[in-house]
Amino acid sequence: MARKIIIDTDPGQDDAVAMLLALAAPDVLDVIGVVVVAGNVPLARTVGNARKVLELAGRADIPLHAGCSRPTRRAPVTAEHVHGPTGLDGHAFPEPTMPVQPQHGVDYLIEVLTREPAGSITLCTLGPLTNVALALVKAPSIAPRIREIVMMAGAEFEVGNITPAAEFNVYADAEAADVVLRSGVPITMIPLDLSHQVLSTRDRLDRIAAIGNRAGGAVAGMLSFSETFDRQKYGWNGAPLHDPCVIAWLLAPEMFGGRTINVRVETASALTYGATVADWWQITDLPRNVHYLRDVDAAGFYDLLTQRLARLP
């Protein structure tokens, strides 16, 4: 039986690819819902972008809920410099027509996690953790009912990407990340330490474009746009592909490696706000709250992504 997941996302080209990868694997993953959060671009745009991606995959049947439009405390921060003004620059999507559910995303998370059997739902978070954190605060009883939170978040060895110390998803709402890290829910973290090994090189994007379907063309176009900033910043022969690693972990865990350690987040310092502190050598005796992934088979990842995208329309 396919694993039930809810995707919480701020599309974003890499979020879009992660969504498509999940939707291309119905034999393994059952995407029962999508919740959208403000992040890369404001909520109005991330909601529209999520609609576009679901329709591209032919999955307008999946319930889509709008979540929080701003972080829990800090002022909003966005990333148009990476993703473009629309957040999905690089591919011309038709205007979406699928509905957005009237229930707030936070209330949807609480309702589903309360209704479904305990331990049956996995949350895949691809953006700031605002929705999940508020759901945990509003209804603490859901924490033991969540099977696992697989999050693209944080960094230790690769340092920050939005500040010298912080990764964007955590920096956008460090207080929310703190609530989730302290929740006791099983967490698997995909940090920049891993995603920086998964580079969308030209030949990999050409392979995806050559699939010849709508999804392949959209992914190649989107990533060819969003790679521009990172290629200039890092000088690598491709841009890191972050969010699809969350889904790939669920599809092929054997491609990944890491260890279960303590991870905390800085919320008070003006200098290092949003920095995740991974106790890789377990120097402290603090709870080992995170399965921290650091190794990945990048070639295998792109084989998986390309093969799966070929199954979409």
Tokens 């999050």 belong to residue = 151
Our CA dihedral for 70, 275, 132, 218, rounded to 10 degrees, sits at: 80
**Per the residue annotation, which of 83, 91, 242, 291 is the catalytic one?**
242
Residues 54 and 166: their CA atoms lie apart, in Å, by: 30
Closest CA to 109 of 127, 135, 144, 70: 135
167 touches which of ligand RIB, Ca ion, none (CB within 5 to 8 A by kind)?
ligand RIB
Contacts with 272 (C-beta within 8 Å, 6 or more apart), sequence order: 163, 165, 166, 266
Is residue 8 a contact point for ligand RIB (CB under 6 A)? no
Residue 46 near residue 18, CB atoms below 8 Å: no
**Least distance from C-beta 2 to ligand RIB, angstroms?**
24
The contact pattern for ligand RIB, residues 72-91, with x = CB under 6 A and - = no contact, is -------x------------
**184: phi > 0 → left, psi -120 to 50 → alpha, else beta; which?**
left
Quick note: the x/- pattern for ligand RIB over 23-62, rule CB under 6 A, is ----------------xx----------------------
List the interface residues with ligand RIB, window 179-198 (CB under 6 A): none
Residue 221 interacts with, from Ca ion, ligand RIB, none (CB under 5-8 Å by kind):
none
Rounded CA gap, 4 and 120, in Å? 7
196 has catalytic annotation: no
> Does 256 participate in binding ligand RIB (rule CB under 6 A)?
no
Tell me if 268 sits within 8 A of 73, measured CB to CB.
Answer: no
- As given in the structure block, the two tokens for residue 152 are 């693209």
- Please report how close the Cβ of residue 135 comes to ligand RIB at its closest, in angstroms: 19
Cβ atoms of residues 56 and 20 within 8 Å: yes
Binding to ligand RIB (CB under 6 A) within 155-174 occurs at 161, 167-169
Per-residue tokens: 7: 């995707």
12 belongs to the binding site for ligand RIB (CB under 6 A): yes
Binding site partner of 87, from Ca ion, ligand RIB, none, Cβ cut-off 5-8 A by kind:
none
| 74 burial via Cβ count (<10 Å: 0-12, 13-18, 19+) | middle
Taking each helix axis from N to C end, the angle separating 214-234 and 43-56, rounded to the nearest 10 degrees, works out to 140
**Residue pair 101/6 in contact by the 8 Å Cβ criterion:** no
The footprint of Ca ion on residues 196-225 (CB under 5 A) is none
Q: Which of residues 115-134 bind Ca ion (CB under 5 A)?
A: 126-127
Mark residues 87-126: x for contact with ligand RIB by CB under 6 A, - for none.
---------------------------------------x
Closest CB 243 distance from Ca ion, rounded Å: 5
Rounded distance, CA 283 to CA 264, Å? Answer: 13
Structure tokens at 61: 């049947």
What is the size of the binding site for ligand RIB (CB under 6 A)? 16
CB of 234 to ligand RIB, least distance (A): 13
Task: Determine which residue in the list 6, 8, 12, 255 makes contact with Ca ion, applying CB under 5 A.
Answer: 12
Binding site for ligand RIB (CB under 6 A): 10, 12, 14-15, 39-40, 79, 126-127, 152, 161, 167-169, 242-243
Catalytic residue numbers read 242
